[in-house]
Amino acid sequence: MKTDLKGLNALETEQWAVEHGLAPYRGRQIRHWLLNRLAVSCDEMQNLPKPVRTLVRESALIAPLEEITTLTSEDGTRKYLFRLQDGHLIESVLIPERDHLTLCISSQAGCAMGCRFCLTGKQGFKRDLAPSEIIEQIILVKRSLVLRERLTNIVLMGMGEPLANYDAVIRAIGNMVAADGMNLSHKKITLSTCGLVPEITRLGQDTTVNLAVSLNAADDATRSRLMPVNRKYPIRRLIQACREFPLPNRRMITFEYILI
Residues that bind ligand SF4 (CB under 6 A): 111, 113-115, 118, 120-121, 159-161, 194
Q: Nearest distance from residue 164's CB to ligand SF4, in Å?
A: 8
Q: Nearest distance from residue 13's CB to ligand SF4, in Å?
A: 31
Quick one: how far is CA 4 from the chain centroid? Answer: 16
Cβ distance to ligand SF4 smaller for residue 110 or 181: 110
Q: Which residues pair with 93 in a beta bridge?
A: 79, 104
C-alpha neighbours within 13 Å on the C-beta side of residue 256: 13
Q: Nearest distance from residue 125's CB to ligand SF4, in Å?
A: 9
Q: Nearest distance from residue 213's CB to ligand SF4, in Å?
A: 11
Cβ distance to ligand SF4 smaller for residue 34 or 159: 159
DSSP conformational letter for 35: I
Helix (H, G, I), strand (E, B) or coil at 137: helix
Q: Nearest distance from residue 258's CB to ligand SF4, in Å?
A: 8
Check the CA dihedral 130-135-139-144 and report its sign.
positive
Long-range contacts of 235-244 (CB under 8 A, 24+ apart): 237/197, 238/195, 238/197, 238/200, 238/213, 241/197, 241/200, 241/201, 242/200, 242/211, 242/213, 244/201, 244/204
Cβ distance to ligand SF4 smaller for residue 107 or 175: 107
Q: Nearest distance from residue 161's CB to ligand SF4, in Å?
A: 4
Cα separation, 258 vs 250, in Å, equals 25
* Phi, psi values for residue 217, rounded to 5°: -165, 155
Cβ distance to ligand SF4 smaller for residue 94 or 155: 155
Give the residue closest to ligand SF4 by C-beta.
121
Cβ distance to ligand SF4 smaller for residue 122 or 143: 122
Cβ distance to ligand SF4 smaller for residue 76 or 198: 198
Cα separation, 242 vs 200, in Å, equals 8
Q: Nearest distance from residue 121's CB to ligand SF4, in Å?
A: 3
Cβ distance to ligand SF4 smaller for residue 53 or 223: 223
For the chain, helix, strand, coil in percent to 5 are 40, 20, 35
